[in-house]
Amino acid sequence: MRDALISQAPAVAEPAPVAQYFATLGPDPLACAFPRKGGAHPGAAMQPVPPEQVETEWQSLLGRPRHRRAVAYVHIPFCENHCLFCGFYQNPWRADAAGSYVDALIAQMAAFARTPAHDGPPLQAVYLGGGTPTALSAADIVRLVRAIRRHLPLTPDCEITLEGRIHSFGADKARAALDAGVTRISLGVQSFADAIRKPLGRKAGRQEIVAALSDLVALDRGAVIVDLIYGLPGQTPEAVAADVRLCGEIGLDGLDLYALTLIPGTPLLTALGKGKTQVAGPDRLGHFFAAGEAAAAEIGWTPISTSHWQGSLRERSVYNLAVKAGADCLAFGAGAGGGLGDLSFRLTPDLARYARQAGAGVGLVAGMMRQAPSAPVAHAIKAGMERGLLDLARAEAAFAALVPRPKRGLSEHFAPLLAQWRTAGLWAPHHRFHRLTLAGRFWQVPMTTRLLGWMAEHPDLSHS
């Protein structure tokens, strides 16, 4: 869940009235503010790089030192089974192929270490995502993490996250990963309830999950967090609250709480289409989120983003917050996505091609997009909205660097939209910030998407 996605906003034929970005007014903004919640991440305006220019641009990126805050993503594109709700499934798990894939990953890192792009700000976080990285053997995890520490420039407190599942990941494998240098373990639980988990294709039961998480916490070697999903078939708001409280009882360091996203092509959406199962409607999802938020407050956990809670000071969620704020992201692995400077890219998902090209540093990129000149302004907006605390002063500073003599200030341009959203109960003033309410935190992604859409209508940007 954690790959940097490449998206393209639709072209705008002519300026649109601000009213189309307004929220629906009503007594319960959690239920009615917008038609639907949308995906986990707001999109951004980008233009594709012509295929014949991709390799030249790629070599140019590698041929010069970096200069911005940076993280790295390492992709393990294998899963032991295809969960019904998941849109990230790529390849079935094959133990006999894992070793050669890790060889290719290490070869790509070693090749990168020989490029000028290795020089620059050290990486603040590295995320091993997928797929299911914890499906790798202990030996492969160890040599991969050691290669990360050997070949990549890391800060002394670099957050190294290993993502995965309870199934096939025990305390011995976790101990080996932590010994090698992993500092954070993130496991996809989704729900602790057996009646909800089993129909989704999750193998581990509640007792097994609780015991495994308790063992990880007892190691006392790094942050242990879980992903939870609300709006799953058969789930209630009370069940979400119980899951959050159980995280506190186990002693976890943090949790992510995401709305179920119905992704085309997934088995769950197919089952819904055939009437085999049902999920909560968009007018009810906000109350699932509210139940989780209330339970987190009840156990004393602190929200550090609109979808993530901190249970101890070990948990910082550096990678996720940095990526959503526009940090550079190095990418390693078949199908991995990343970004450097004003270019976003995705490496080839073809395992055979990746294995052939990984150590050469050429022929790896499957596609590339160029960010709009206004990207720094968009990053400032997205960073604040992700934390639930929009700082227009930061966005104004980025806008002033882009447009020294604007026809209209950014705050002035946003004023009618933000005024309407305040009336709708989505934010409240907090010093110089716009602090999102409970409803605003739930609707953060569609709100951010609308802010970016209205920003593109600014007189100095709409025709650039």
Q: What pLDDT is recorded for position 361?
A: 84
Predicted confidence at residue 8, as pLDDT, reads: 40
Q: What is the pLDDT of residue 2?
A: 41
Q: Which residue has the tokens 């998206």?
A: 7
Between CA 316 and CA 322 the distance in angstroms is 11
In angstroms, the first-to-last Cα distance of the chain is 33
Q: DSSP of 217-241, one letter per residue? A: HHH-SSEEEEEEEES-TT--HHHHH
Domain range list for the chain:
51-324, 375-455
What's phi and psi for 149, nearest 5 deg? Answer: -70, -25
Tokens 């409803």 identify what position?
Answer: 439
| CA atoms of 335 and 73, how far apart (whole Å) | 11
- The Cα 178–Cα 54 span in angstroms is 38
Report pTM: 0.91
Burial class (CB in 10 A: 0-12, 13-18, 19+), 274: exposed
Q: Do strands 343-347 and 365-371 pair parallel, antiparallel, or not at all (unpaired)?
A: antiparallel
Asked if 448 contacts 382 with a C-beta cutoff of 8 angstroms, the reply is yes
171, 215 Cβ separation under 8 angstroms: yes
Name the strand (E) or helix (H) holding 182. Answer: none
**C-alpha distances out from residue 103 to 1, 173, 177, 329, 359, Å:** 23, 19, 17, 21, 9
Confidence (pLDDT) at 462: 76
Question: What is the CATH code of the structural domain delimited by 375-455?
Answer: 1.10.10.920
360: DSSP letter: T
Please, are residues 77 and 340 in contact by the beta-carbon 8 Å criterion? Answer: no
Residue that has been written with the tokens 């989780």 in this structure: 292
Dihedral of CA atoms 390, 396, 402, 405 in degrees, nearest 10, equals 150
Distance CA 393, CA 149 (A): 37
Paired with 91 in beta bridges are 78
User: Do strands 91-92 and 78-79 pair parallel, antiparallel, or not at all (unpaired)?
Assistant: parallel
- pLDDT score at 9: 42
**Which residues of the chain carry a pLDDT beneath 50?**
1-13
Confirm or reject CATH 2.40.50.140 for domain 51-324, answering yes or no.
no
